[in-house]
Amino acid sequence: MLLGSIQPFDPYVRSTNGGVPQISLLRSGIRFNLNYIELVHYRLYLPDDFASLYAIEELCFERPFRFGRRYMRELIESPTSTTWIAAEDDAMTGFAIVDCLTDKNRTAAYIQTIEVAPAYRQRGIASELLNRLESSGRAAGATMIWLHVDAHNESAIRLYQSRAYRQSGRREHYYARNRAAEIYVKALNSEIAE
């Protein structure tokens, strides 16, 4: 985004374009101050990543809602899934898994999970991971992407809504008794359909 396009009351502007460093500018009065330069990069999962990835799972979810190690490995190693990693310097900051399944000539992408370590939240990492999942879905020929989210998970629901995901259903007792899931869906027809 060009600086000239910043509107007067924008609290911040961020640019997330793949492996290019992200720059956030915080507005102070009428002057722009370079607040910080984040060096987050995004890449595909490598086998050595598992311990760091699972440490994030343990930070993000309590038992019994957390995926078990064996199940997590199965998700990652499935031939239909793609796992994206967010990292800053040597530290893994987040990850996300998408599974693309074809049924009757129609491919749909399903978000298995998206997780950012607490210390790195509110910086746009999940939004960029979502970009990557959607791109992987499109590359696999998916025309839609969908997910389950805990009906009480307000931050995740805000993330999906802000990225044009629409609620399309609800499953009671999905995660546990009285713990419902909402189903969110987004069309993946083209890059423009964001």
Cβ 141 vs Cβ 105: under 8 Å: no
Question: Counting contacts by CB under 6 A, is residue 149 touching ligand COA?
Answer: yes
Cα–Cα separations (whole angstroms), residue 84 to 49, 97, 114, 135, 136: 11, 6, 9, 11, 9
Nearer to ligand COA (CB atom), residue 50 or residue 67: 67
Among 40, 42, 82, 115, binds ligand COA (CB under 6 A): 115
Nearer to ligand COA (CB atom), residue 62 or residue 104: 62
Residue 17 carries which side chain, given as an amino acid letter? N
Rounded Cα gap, residues 17 and 75, in angstroms: 27
Rounded Cα gap, residues 85 and 169, in angstroms: 29
Nearer to ligand COA (CB atom), residue 124 or residue 137: 124
Among 53, 76, 116, 142, binds ligand COA (CB under 6 A): 116
Question: Counting contacts by CB under 6 A, is residue 132 touching ligand COA?
Answer: no
Question: Counting contacts by CB under 6 A, is residue 113 touching ligand COA?
Answer: yes
> What is the number of other CB atoms lying within 10 angstroms of the CB of residue 164?
11
Cα–Cα separations (whole angstroms), residue 23 to 15, 66, 79, 104: 6, 33, 35, 43
Nearer to ligand COA (CB atom), residue 125 or residue 188: 125
Give residues in contact with ligand COA (CB under 6 A).
12, 14, 24, 60, 113-116, 121-127, 147, 149, 153, 155-156, 158-159, 162
